[in-house]
Every structure is written in C-alpha cells, then in structure tokens.
Chain A
C-alpha cells in the first residue's frame, strides 16, 4: 500500500493540473468567444451580446447548453465511424498539447526535455481530425474545406517551425520551462532579440489556426462552413473547442518562447518593481467597474450576478495582493506568474481578433504564395542570420547576453529584414493577376 502511495505521490500534482485544465478550459474557451464577440461589437459600433446575464456574461453557458441539447445528425452517406471519431481526434490533440505548457513556474503538468517538439508534434495531429471529418462527411464542400485546411496547415507549419527555431537557438534547450528561465537570466524577452522570428510566428500561427485573414477552410461566403459543414450540435462544438484551444496553444507557445512566459515585463530591473502592483490593481479596477454597473442592471438577478462577478474580481485582487507581502514571498512568483502568462496569451489572442475584424480574406493561391514564397524563405534566412550571430559572439553560458551579442543580433535581424523587403518587391513584380479569358 505504501509503495502504491509512493508510486503515485509525484503524479498527484500533475494529475490535479490536468484535471483543472480539462475542466476549466471549455469554460475559458466559452468566455474567449464572448470576449471576441464583445471586441468585434466594439469595433463595429454595436453592443454585442447583452441579453443573457448582465452584459451578456452568461451567453457562453446558454450557447453551450443549446449545443448540447441539439439533435445529433449524421448524414446518411457519411462514414459513420470516422464521422464520429474525427472531432475527438481534433480536440484530444489540441488539449494534449497543453500538457507541456508552463502556465506558471509551478503550474506545469510535465516539464519534458523535448517539450516544444512534443507540443508541435501533438498539435499537428489535429489536422487528421479535420481531414477525416471532411472526408467522412461525403460532401463536396466539406472535402474542399478539409483539403484546404491540410494544405494550409502543412505550408504554414514549416514557416512557424523555422520561426520557433530562432528562439530555440537563443535558448539552447527544448524544455519549455528552461526556455523561460533562460529568458529570465538574460533579462530580456526573446521577442526583442529575434523580432523577425516573432513576427513570422505571429502570422504563421494565425494561418495555422485557420483564423482570418487566413480562414479559407471555413470561408463562410465561399465554402459555407468548410470541413464542419455537415456537423452539428455536440460534434460541431468539439471542433469549435479544438479550434479555440489551438489558438490558446499557439498563444502559449508564442508567450513561452518569445514573450518571456510567466515573467513580468523587465523581470530583473528592480526600479520597475512597482509593476508587481499591476495585477491586483487591474483586478481592483475590474471589480470597481462591476460594482459601478451593478445598480444600473434592469433585473434583480442580473444585479446579483454582476455583484458576484465583482466580488470574484475583488477576491482575485486580494490573492494577488496578499502574495506581495514579504511573509508570502514563496507564493509570489507562482501566483503572479500565472497571471502574467494568461494576460500575455490573452493579448496575443486579442491581436488575432483585431486582425480578424479589420482585414479581408486572402484567396487560396495568394495564401500559398505568401507562405512558400515569402514566409518560409524569410524564416530560413532568419534562422541562418541568428545562427551566424550566435557563432560570432558565443555567449559564455546559454542565454547569457552581452552588448556584442545584442549588436550582432541586431545586425542579423536587419539583414533578414532586407531579404524580406527584397522578396516582397520581387513578389510584387511577379504578381500577375489571373485574368479570365481575355
């Protein structure tokens, strides 16, 4: 018995984390959708969901209930087995990728020594779900959507991978935990050392998650809903969940590799320690806003709910504030780290939303051309330039930074930018529109 307990003891905490992630993530995804709709509404001069709960705060719950009680339709000519399995593959792959993500310095299910490889490998498995789902539906639109998805994912994953390598070269390790620690040691996020790599990853990750302006697989005005056309109800919501979890995954990867993971801005500058007050203050402001809006709600239930949300924010502010006390110093980094990590991921996703509601959609051939003729070459040049810079100024320890290395990295990034500008100019000249007939 004791042996059994001893065997399980190291696995208890990871198990708890896994439980938290699997249980809480669908809820988070629901609220990300709500935030997205609110952001969209804000950009489009309207209010967005306002009916269900105060300011539409219960909308995600209502949506989830609606999806769960919908009729489960499987098309008659569909391959039933695959039709059933495809969304599960997608959602499992997306959730598994979070296993190696360091959400806080202590909040990580497993710190694998090949962390990044594991995440990339597992999250690419999701494409099987898409292709199989499109094929199993036995419909032209689904099939076209699935093929587009597969082609797009393959082309942009190469560019995204190359962009991540620039971060890996700087860190010298694949372990996600170590990568953040090395950024802490260097005192600077890798985003500032490899800005070109970060930018390429940003664009490629939008394309990888099929978001606008690269949302061709589900281009509503062309292919109805792409590979999801024949899906409805719960199966559809699994695809939906997978899509948003994938967004969280790419956001987390970018946060870990380029944005310093759980570190606060300027982690080593003691003069900026007042930044530690930002998390509790932000929560206080949110709580204040909730209380300010509470009396203005029309219905009693809504008043109560909004006040409860305010109290929750207040409690979080309390937690984030208490750990600042010298007595609780041991808890400060884990608690604040998780806050900063989630904030960065959210800001990353905000950029996704912002672009989605601003830009029109690429055409498929233009998307492919951008991927293969521009993004991938620039990413490769970027890797080579950074490698050369690192060889010329080999840091004494991994992640160690001195002015020489900084300067050579600056030069290498500038060189990459020149190549990128050249490629863009060539692409512009070569871009001859497809002219129908005449």
Chain B
C-alpha cells in the first residue's frame, strides 16, 4: 500500500503556515496500536498530512506452513491468525476444505458451528468495543466487555477445553458432541446480554464527548470503501448492505432470521453503532439456533486420510472483522499445494491512510481502533 496513497486524495492541504512537518513514529510498542502495528505519521502541527503503515512484525509464514502440513494438521494454525476470533477462522478453513472434498458437514454439526461462531462474533466485538473505548479515554467499558466475554470463553472452554485458540471444529464436522447444558448456557448468556448491551450504550451512545470524538472521524464513503476492498462492519457502516451470511449463506445461516445493520455516514460513530447492533443480531441468531438443534451425527464420513481431488477452491465467510477467504489448491496429495488466505484486517487496514488524512493525532488512535485490526491476522 506504500505508493497508491499519493493519488487517492489530491486535495489535501499541506502545511498551511509553511511550518516544518515532523514525522512521528507510532508503534510497534505504542500502547494503542493494538499489537505490533507501526504507523509513520507526517504531521503538520497536530494534523496528519500523510501516513504509512509498516506491518510484518508478527509474520510467521502461516501460508507457507500450510504447504508442509496435512489438511488436518494445518487447522490449528488458522486459530492463531485472528486470535480473538479463532472459532470463525476455523469455520472458514474447515468449510473450504470440505468444499474441496465435495463433502458437507451434517446438519447438527452445522447448527452447533453457527452457535459457536456467533458467540465468537460477540466476543470479538466485545473486545473491540472495550479497547476502542479505552483508546478514546473511557476506561470502564473495557471491564464490562471483558466480563461478558469471559462468559463466552467459559462456554468455549466447556465445549472443547480451550478458551482462546480453540480449534473447535474439524474438517467434516465436529470432534466433540455438544455438552449437556450448552443450550442452557447459551440461553442464559443471551438473556443477560440484552441488558449488558444497554449498559454499554448508556455509557457511550448519547455521550457528548463520545459523539464529538467519533462523529465525522475517519469518513469512508461507500464508493471509497468498495474501491479499497473493505469488508465487514467497516463496509456496512458506509451504507453498503453486504454480508456473506446473507449473500452466500454457509453453515446454517439460511435457517435463521436476522437483520444486517448498515450505517449512513461511514464515520467512526456509525461503525460503532453497526457493531453494537451486530452483537444484538448475533444474540438473536444464537437464541433461534438453540431452539432447534437437530439430532444426528456430528461428523461426515470423509475418511481418516484426506486427499482432495486435483483442483482449487475459494470459500469465504463473514468473520467478525469482515470477509475471511481461503483459497486452496490441491494436487491430490495429503498436503495442500497452496493456501492463500484473505484476512479481513489486512485489507481493511488499507483504508487507514484514506481515513486518517487531515485528522489530528488524537484521532489516529480512534481510527486504528475503529478498523478493528488484529495484527496476527494482518501479518499471518
């Protein structure tokens, strides 16, 4: 993304007073760059003239590792990309390989997958809300959000023993049967969560300072968002109604009723509203799903050794942060020939420079927060 930025905004006014520009280096150890993002900011006073994201501090060569692992062996690695939404990553990968095999997970497995993935979406959004509010100076929402996120992680722990990098799903279905009180736990969480969202909104939604800090900040028009390939809540906040759960349903999403919240102005405030509403919708999906979990097997009959036929497949899901796509090429061996991952954070980060120009240094942290990046996913 280094050099495309000079053309995107020709009408930025530089150095009004002819003063010297200073270059400030934010990160990779800055407290609010959400990991190891490094941003070079060129400032005119406190106004950002130009910015450049330097990434790669967390590069682990995940895609290359895939070429030396069997299909099943690679599954836990995807959990470590977006480590705050490991369940979603796993779902995308498992479904992509299933597509390549021509297999399909049984209905029971798909419903349980949907429940856990939607819970993961709530957990990811909660983490985003807490840290975003903290960046803008509201200390307290962080603790409320972590309190509720803890409940979700407890459900994961009960289900598969892990909280963060869960490796919850297997290619072809699930390894573990749902534990006995799963429905009850999810229902209890969803019942409580309705009031908890109201708590967050009490603290922020009508708050004058919050409005002042987020309204009109980091505006992305619908056209710009589409041009930059932005997906997920960032795209929807700009008014584009695009959600893969509706557009190309996967797992069991076609069975449930839910709305796709969209924004109008494409600013930081709209992205906040969209994500809060998405948490509500996820809650509704979970409540619908636990009403009727079909009985039956949880694993498709796909054999122990996976050798997909020669071919390629692209499968994408709506991860909490946007479109998460897996492009897998098979050469009919037990290892993939190539795995290319389209992580939402990486693509959304492209929009950073467009959003940040002309704003003040204080807005930079708000904009980094509103994109909702996870550097593990950006760098892979």
Contact = CB atoms under 8 A, between A and B. Distances in A.
Interface stretch (B246-254, B288-296, B323-331, B353-361): B353-361
B12 A357 contact: no
A212 B137 contact: yes
A438 B221 contact: yes
B224 A222 contact: no
Interface in B5-21: 8-9, 11-12
A359 interface: yes
The number of chain A residues touching the other chain, given as a range, is: 35 or more
The residue among A45, A212, A359 with the most chain B CB atoms within 10 A of its own CB is: A359
Nearest to B364: A222
Interface in A200-225: 212-213, 215-216, 219-222, 224
Contact of B11 (A220, A222, A224, A437): A437
A434 B22 contact: no
A220 B137 CA distance: 9
Interface stretch (A127-135, A156-164, A363-371): A363-371
A436 interface: yes
B332 to A, nearest CB: 50
Given A221-B32, A224-B30, A364 B216 contact: no
A230 to B, nearest CB: 15
A431 B217 CA distance: 13
Interface string A401-433: 000000000000000000000000000000111
Interface in B216-275: 216-219, 221, 224, 267
Contact of A435 (B30, B144, B216): B216
B133 A360 contact: yes
Given A360-B136, A363-B363, A222 B217 contact: no
B203 A358 contact: yes
B209 interface: yes
Contacts of B209: 213, 359-362, 366
A300 to B, nearest CB: 33
B24 A140 contact: yes
Contacts, number: 112
Contacts of A293: none
B212 A366 contact: yes
B140 A358 contact: yes
Given A45-B144, A45-B147, A221-B135, A140 B22 contact: yes
Contacts of B361: 222
A362 B208 CA distance: 10
B137 A361 contact: yes
Contacts of B143: 44-46
B213 interface: yes
A40 B12 contact: no
B204 A360 contact: yes
The residue among A40, A212, A215, A363 with the most chain B CB atoms within 10 A of its own CB is: A363
Contact of A360 (B210, B354, B355): B210
A44 B356 CA distance: 32
A303 interface: no
B306 interface: no
Given A213-B137, A357-B140, A361-B136, A436 B22 contact: no
Given A359-B209, A360-B213, A364-B46, A219 B137 contact: yes
B137 A360 contact: yes
A360 B31 contact: no
A330 interface: no
Contacts of B217: 433-434
Nearest to A366: B212
The number of chain B residues touching the other chain, given as a range, is: 35 or more
A403 to B, nearest CB: 37
A43 interface: yes
Interface string A350-389: 0000001111111111100000000000000000000000
A302 to B, nearest CB: 26
Contacts of A212: 137, 139
Given A44-B140, A436-B357, A437-B11, A363 B219 contact: no
Contacts of B218: 436
Contacts of A222: 32, 361-362, 364-365
A37 to B, nearest CB: 12
A340 B255 CA distance: 65
B138 interface: yes
Interface string A214-251: 01100111101000000000000000000000000000
Given A437-B9, A438-B9, A363 B140 contact: no
B359 A219 contact: no
Contact of A434 (B11, B32, B224, B358): B358
Contacts of B32: 220-222
The residue among B203, B221, B224, B359 with the most chain A CB atoms within 10 A of its own CB is: B359
Contacts of B207: 359-360
B154 interface: no
Nearest to A363: B362
Given A360-B207, A363-B213, A221 B9 contact: no
Contacts of B356: 436
Contacts of B22: 140
B134 interface: yes
Contacts of B142: 44
Interface in B347-380: 354-365
B215 interface: yes
Given A361-B209, A364-B362, A438 B219 contact: yes
Contacts of A361: 136-138, 209, 213
The residue among A140, A224, A435 with the most chain B CB atoms within 10 A of its own CB is: A435
A144 B213 CA distance: 20
Contacts of A434: 216-217, 358-360, 363
A40 B217 CA distance: 29
A437 B357 contact: yes
B212 A362 contact: yes
Interface string A86-105: 00000000000000000000
Given A40-B139, A224-B30, A362-B212, A436 B358 contact: yes
Nearest to B147: A45
Contact of A215 (B137, B354, B363): B137
B144 A44 contact: yes
Interface string B32-74: 1000000000000010100000000000000000000000000
A40 B143 CA distance: 11
A221 B134 contact: yes
B365 A437 contact: no
B311 to A, nearest CB: 43
A363 B216 CA distance: 13
22 contacts: A216-B362, A219-B362, A220-B32, A221-B32, A221-B136, A221-B365, A222-B364, A358-B140, A359-B138, A363-B362, A364-B46, A366-B209, A432-B216, A434-B216, A434-B217, A434-B359, A435-B219, A436-B355, A436-B356, A436-B358, A437-B11, A438-B224
Given A360-B207, A364-B362, A435-B219, 20 more contacts: A44-B142, A44-B144, A144-B46, A212-B137, A215-B137, A220-B31, A221-B32, A221-B365, A222-B362, A224-B31, A358-B140, A360-B138, A360-B213, A363-B363, A433-B215, A434-B216, A434-B358, A436-B219, A436-B357, A438-B224
